[in-house]
Chain A
Amino acid sequence: MLFFLCFALFLIGLYCVLIKKNLLKIVMGIIIMEYSVNLFLIMVGYKAGAVAPIVTAGVEKANFVDPLPQALVITAIVIGIATLALMVALCMRVYDRYKTFDITKIRRLRG
């Protein structure tokens, strides 16, 4: 049931990208999809009753959660902010040229 709730969050983001007409709302929908995917990856690697994967003094072999999805998600979060910066730069250029954020009015590709 938890996995399905996480996927429902992804579907909310997808709905926002498909329906909305404001360019910034579409960007926010993409961010919601990124959050849900990172949450899903960590949920797959969770082990009930285990501790964080950091070896402390004196304790050698404890019960650790899965460290591999955590390594992937750290890079995914930082890549997410770089793509957000690129998307916002593109939105600024579009506003500079067309003076609106409405996607139904941004039509012609003027050379």
Chain B
Amino acid sequence: MTSGLRIDHISRKQAAIELIILKLRELVEGMLGHTGRPYAEYIMTILVYLGISNMIGLIGFTPPTMDLNVTVALALMSIVLVEVAGIRKKGVKTWLSDFKEPIPVILPMNILELGIRPLSLCMRLFGNVLGATVIMEMIKVVIPVLLPAVLSVYFDIFDGLIQAYVFCFLTSLYIAEATEDKERETAEERAERKRLAAEARAERRAERARRKAEEDQFDIWAFYRRLLMLPPKEAVA
């Protein structure tokens, strides 16, 4: 398929392939954001592989993603890629110290996430494909005519594509999160922020005092008392 590629006077086949690649790249780069762009080719490959292997049940093969080993391998590749992307972007030291972001209490959660992310990725894919296949087999036993063909549109095509998309979406979300340019505030910026906050507080206090003074000037209760010809408050007390 890739033989005889040219730069000018391209064949129809090459134009079709280029269109598919460009559309895929557009989709994936939208999910990755500009910092994760170098990893777009990997995500595109995974997307095509998962899309085809989830739908291969249509032509009578067993989907490879129904095997737990395949999904575990894919999830491990994803999490390794995410962490390596983070280290390449930030360096080992910042990468390690980012485990206690945004607050240090969350450190154990962030470490657990290293295991939970690939686990949920591979179990989601495996369970969905296996579940769809099991349900299809059961329906084929009960009603072997017509109904399986209709339901296969959902279980094989729609669900398979959605799961492939979700896998790639989550992987690229993790990559985008690991490589994002975070604004790290310096000591000066922190002082500036504190000064601004103090200013705002002082302003609010002044505003409140001003309003209080206005209220004191016009005491509605004193006005009513005068209206009803009651004695002033101090006299009652």
Tell whether A and B belong to one assembly: no
